[in-house]
Amino acid sequence: MVIFDEMVTLHGQGEFENQFRIRIIKLNNSGSVTQLKNYYVVASDPGDSSGTFIQNAAQILIPMVCREHTINYYEMVWFEHRQTNEPTLTVVTPSAAKACCGSACSQMITLDRRPARPNEISHVKQFLSDLA
């Protein structure tokens, strides 16, 4: 079930801003199949880029989505959806780490990227038909 589907704007330095479409899908854990992850989050680039923007923005978008929608990093699969000639999906696996500088510590995430597997593509494909 899609629980969030909106354009999100990130403002950079000066007049720089970029829009991304964020779609959050809550997976159903009823029945005989138990999902290891409870959410799919699909972040789509604006459609007129090579996908570089979505890659660069993931470090900001992932914590923002998790914070605003009360989703733990470990409960989701984050997909980067590039709307190029041939739409592609990349799975981003965030892991939390603490970064300390003196006595001040903050939580940071590290990102591992890999191509989406065929079973992941087939599972999330029904939620992407209007994005291609």
DSSP string across 29-75: --SS---SSSEEEEEE--SSS-SHHHHHHHHHHHHHHHHHHT--GGG
The whole-angstrom separation of Cα 44 and Cα 125 is: 13
Q: How many domains does the chain have?
A: 1
With respect to residue 123, please indicate whether it lies within any of the assigned structural domains. yes
Q: What pLDDT score does 98 carry?
A: 55
Average pLDDT, the chain: 76
Q: What pLDDT score does 111 carry?
A: 79
| Range of the structural domain that residue 16 is part of | 2-127
With respect to residue 14, please indicate whether it lies within any of the assigned structural domains. yes
Confidence bin at 4 (pLDDT 50/70/90): very high
Confidence bin at 115 (pLDDT 50/70/90): confident
With respect to residue 52, please indicate whether it lies within any of the assigned structural domains. yes
Confidence bin at 3 (pLDDT 50/70/90): very high
Q: What pLDDT score does 46 carry?
A: 66
With respect to residue 89, please indicate whether it lies within any of the assigned structural domains. yes
Tens of pLDDT, residue by residue over 48-105, are 555 567 777 888 888 888 889 988 877 888 888 876 645 566 777 766 655 555 555 5
Q: What pLDDT score does 24 carry?
A: 94
With respect to residue 132, please indicate whether it lies within any of the assigned structural domains. no
